[in-house]
Amino acid sequence: MAIEAEGLCKGYGSTRALRGVDLAVPAGTVLGLLGPNGAGKTTTVRTLATLLVPDGGRAEVAGYDVVRRPHEVRRRIGLAGQYAAVDELLTGRENLVLIGTLLHLGRRAARARAAELLDRFDLTGAGDRPARTYSGGMRRRLDLAACLVARPSVLFLDEPTTGLDPVSRMSLWSAVRELVADGVTVLLTTQYLEEADYLADRIVVVDAGRVIADGTPNELKRKVGEERLEIVVTHPDGVPAAVSALRRVTAGEPVVDRDRGVVSIAVGEGVDSMDGIATAAAALRRENVAVADFALRRPTLDDVFVSLTGRSA
Ligand SMILES: Nc1ncnc2c1ncn2[C@@H]1O[C@H](COP(=O)(O)OP(=O)(O)O)[C@@H](O)[C@H]1O
Ligand SMILES: [Mg+2]
């Protein structure tokens, strides 16, 4: 295990931020720590990264106890937060060279490492501009690059894409995937099921300082309910034809909401979602059903929460 925690507890005054958190992350895998605001994600990350001392429980990161051997832990980890910790006045390249120099890489090796990381994160063109001119997405990428100068074996990413536009989010996701391909262990916190789904091997859902569920993305989604294909018919008279068309696509029974003119079927269980979509579209056309909307609806974090806790996130 690259990260292992048992019964972690942490309070701030009267707020009990962590109430016994257990985690186990095998080396070379990605754990998604998923939860709403205030769930305890940042507190968990800061405790594992030795920035906070837990009140109870124990944790090991990269084989070392976070309380007794914090220096050993720090030498092996990287931490990128929600707020990029780059020096605004320095250029991207200078930021990275500075870190390399502080790590005693030596001037030449520090410059080489900076160039390599700028290239890897598509920042070569902007490398000699002050970081204050960077977009939000570029800052996050520079921040991630800064964490990697020391070649950590365990990386903590605290809401790495919150507030980013979809294109920047995708580019950060692919950067994380590359790191994992290189064997880095990643613990990533997020409020987006979609992000955990795309990046994580396993997901742990936290709420109010406790783990309320864990599993692979598919196990978790199955617990919540599967992907559904929703068809909105143009006219309510089209509902019966839509139902008969969709019956041929799925083993289950289509669900009908007559008032909204919506017919939906589960995909994913037995029906692969792409095949299901294609077959459903063809069947609807054969029955001449006029369709106003045709959409694949995935369970959201909110669906996970409602299903697990009975309340909205
Ligand atoms: N420095 C702090 N002082 C007091 N309370 C805090 C502090 N940091 C976090 N908290 C509280 O601890 C709980 C967990 O916070 P946090 O770990 O930041 O959650 P998340 O990262 O999931 O949003 C919240 O109730 C939050 O208000
Ligand atoms: Mg947080």
- pLDDT tens profile 228-260: 888 999 988 889 999 998 888 777 788 898 888
Taking the centre of ligand 2 as the mean of its atom positions, its distance from the CA of residue 299, in whole angstroms, is 22
CA atoms within 13 A on the CB side of 133: 10
Is 265 in contact with 280 (CB distance < 8 Å)? yes
Q: Quickly count: other Cβ atoms within 10 Å of residue 148's Cβ.
A: 22
pLDDT at 266 (0 to 100): 79
Taking the centre of ligand 2 as the mean of its atom positions, its distance from the CA of residue 105, in whole angstroms, is 32
> For ligand 1, is residue 91 a contact (CB within 6 Å)?
no
pLDDT at 84 (0 to 100): 63
Q: Tell me the backbone φ, ψ of residue 197, rounded to 5 degrees.
A: -60, -45
SS3 assignment for 269-299: CCCCHHHHHHHHHHHHHHCCCCEEEEEEECC
Indicate the SS3 state at residue 69: coil
DSSP 253: P
Atom from ligand 1 closest to the CA of residue 37: 23
DSSP 237: G
> For ligand 1, is residue 35 a contact (CB within 6 Å)?
yes
Taking the centre of ligand 2 as the mean of its atom positions, its distance from the CA of residue 27, in whole angstroms, is 24
Is 215 in contact with 278 (CB distance < 8 Å)? no
* Minimal-distance CA residue to ligand 1 atom 24: 38
8, 9, 11 from 40: Cα distances, Å: 11, 10, 10
Taking the centre of ligand 2 as the mean of its atom positions, its distance from the CA of residue 80, in whole angstroms, is 12
Q: Residue 165: which residues within 8 A CB-CB, separation 6 or more?
A: 136, 137
255-257 and 3-12: which strand pairing? unpaired
DSSP 225: -
Q: In this structure, which ligand is nearest to the CA of 159?
A: 2
> For ligand 1, is residue 220 a contact (CB within 6 Å)?
no
Is 174 in contact with 181 (CB distance < 8 Å)? no
Taking the centre of ligand 2 as the mean of its atom positions, its distance from the CA of residue 221, in whole angstroms, is 23
pLDDT at 82 (0 to 100): 67
* Residue ranges in the chain modelled with pLDDT below 50: none
Atom from ligand 1 closest to the CA of residue 40: 17
Task: Name the residue of 18, 42, 188 to mutate for ligand 1: max ligand atoms within 8 A of Cβ.
Answer: 42
What is the token pair recorded at 141? 């990428």
Atom from ligand 1 closest to the CA of residue 35: 22
Return the bridge partners of 294, or none.
Answer: 231
Q: Tell me the backbone φ, ψ of residue 276, rounded to 5 degrees.
A: -60, -45
pLDDT at 307 (0 to 100): 75
Task: Name the residue of 9, 12, 156 to mutate for ligand 1: max ligand atoms within 8 A of Cβ.
Answer: 12
> For ligand 1, is residue 39 a contact (CB within 6 Å)?
yes
* pLDDT tens, position by position, 140-199: 889 999 999 999 999 999 998 888 888 888 888 988 998 899 899 999 999 888 888 899
> For ligand 1, is residue 12 a contact (CB within 6 Å)?
yes
Taking the centre of ligand 1 as the mean of its atom positions, its distance from the CA of residue 264, in whole angstroms, is 40
pLDDT at 252 (0 to 100): 76
Taking the centre of ligand 2 as the mean of its atom positions, its distance from the CA of residue 4, in whole angstroms, is 20
Q: Tell me the backbone φ, ψ of residue 200, rounded to 5 degrees.
A: -95, 140
Is 98 in contact with 90 (CB distance < 8 Å)? yes
Indicate the SS3 state at residue 202: strand
Q: Tell me the backbone φ, ψ of residue 128, rounded to 5 degrees.
A: -105, 15
Please indicate, yes or no, whether the overall pTM of this predicted structure exceeds 0.95.
Answer: no
Taking the centre of ligand 1 as the mean of its atom positions, its distance from the CA of residue 17, in whole angstroms, is 6
Indicate the SS3 state at residue 31: strand
